[in-house]
Amino acid sequence: MGHLGSRDKDGDGVCDAIDPNNGGWMSIPNVNLGDLIRIYTVPGDFVNLIGITADNMGTQPANYVIWDGHNYDSQACTTHTSYIVTVNKGEPFQRWLNGGDPSNTPVFTGINYTNGNLSWNLDKSFAYVRCFIYDASNNLIARPIWDKLYAAHYPQSLDMDFLPSGQTYTARFFGWCPDGGKSQTVNYSFTHQCVHCGDADGSGTVDISDAVYLIAYIFSGGPAPGDCGYPQGLGDANGDGGFDISDAVYLIGYIFSGGTAPHCP
């Protein structure tokens, strides 16, 4: 779409968007993953093609994508002009290209970490959001959001159980709009604690299958469960920092004998 780049002019550690004051923007509603959006001038000249992905599709209040007002060779189109839009070559409809407004600045509020989830709000304006996770030594270790489109005024959250437990991290948020407005970079520090221990097979629940999974790993060369450094298979049921037969015994005691629920280091 001709609006992503790698500049960091203000030195805040977050790359800026190219063309920060481009031609304008258009919201195209009722799209779904895999759709192909075609944009034409009213005389019928081709302008742009947008493939709908999980990153460029907004999901609230209805699925939509933002066109940033560029044509196929990255030149800005004329604002306050009507264009023809088709979804998967279906029935064409008309939409207007809104004028750019750099004052339409997104704002991050309500950033909070609770029970393994990092929650946040995007206020004032829709935006493409970037989130970076840094460790205590300021090393970039994850990029859970990269230019994913979000609507304003809807609470969002991220599951942090892909991070090793018991360590302190900094989440860095940044948002930008196709019409030029961009947020301040917001940093938020938190100490991650795993909250899904004992789920060795990564099914989302703790049950006898997790004990079976651990036993298969220990005695039969089955796939290894994870710890809080992995997105699935949190096998450390007894919180001793590893996983072995004692975790399977712990799970069996919890499931069948009313033992203590699995907990994390």
pLDDT at residue 157 in the model: 94
pLDDT at residue 31 in the model: 95
Domain ranges in the chain?
Answer: 24-99, 107-191
- Provide the β-strand partners of residue 84: 40, 94
Q: Does the pLDDT value for residue 1 go beyond 90?
A: no
CA proximity to 131, closest of 156, 168, 98: 156
Largest CA distance in the chain: 74
Look over the chain and give the mean of its residue pLDDT values, rounded to a whole number. 85
Per-residue pLDDT, averaged over 18-37, amounts to: 79
Q: Specify which of 20-24, 109-113, 150-154, 224-228 reaches the highest per-range mean pLDDT.
A: 109-113
pLDDT at residue 232 in the model: 52
Q: Does the pLDDT value for residue 174 go beyond 90?
A: yes
Determine whether domain 107-191 maps to CATH 3.50.30.30.
no
pLDDT (tens digit per residue) in 180-191: 688 999 999 999
Class (C level, CATH) for 24-99: mainly beta
Q: What are the phi and psi torsion angles at 209 (to 5°)?
A: -65, -30
- CA separation for the pair 1, 78 (Å, rounded): 16
Higher pLDDT, 217 or 193: 217
Per-residue pLDDT, averaged over 17-38, amounts to: 79
Q: Does the pLDDT value for residue 14 go beyond 90?
A: no
- Angle among Cα 88, 90, 94 to the nearest 5 degrees reads 105
Q: What are the phi and psi torsion angles at 85 (to 5°)?
A: -125, 135
Q: Specify which of 88-92, 122-126, 229-233, 261-265 reaches the highest per-range mean pLDDT.
A: 88-92
pTM: 0.71
pLDDT at residue 23 in the model: 58
pLDDT at residue 11 in the model: 57
Share of the chain above pLDDT 90, in %: 50
Per-residue pLDDT, averaged over 103-118, amounts to: 91
- CA separation for the pair 135, 6 (Å, rounded): 22
pLDDT at residue 237 in the model: 87
pLDDT (tens digit per residue) in 232-243: 567 888 888 777
CA proximity to 130, closest of 82, 189, 164, 172: 172
pLDDT at residue 129 in the model: 94
DSSP letters along 29-58, please?
Answer: ES--TT-EEEEEETT--EEEEEE--TTTEE
Domains 24-99 and 107-191 fall in the same CATH topology: yes
pLDDT (tens digit per residue) in 222-261: 988 876 765 456 788 888 877 789 999 999 999 999 898 8
- CA separation for the pair 240, 141 (Å, rounded): 25
pLDDT at residue 145 in the model: 94
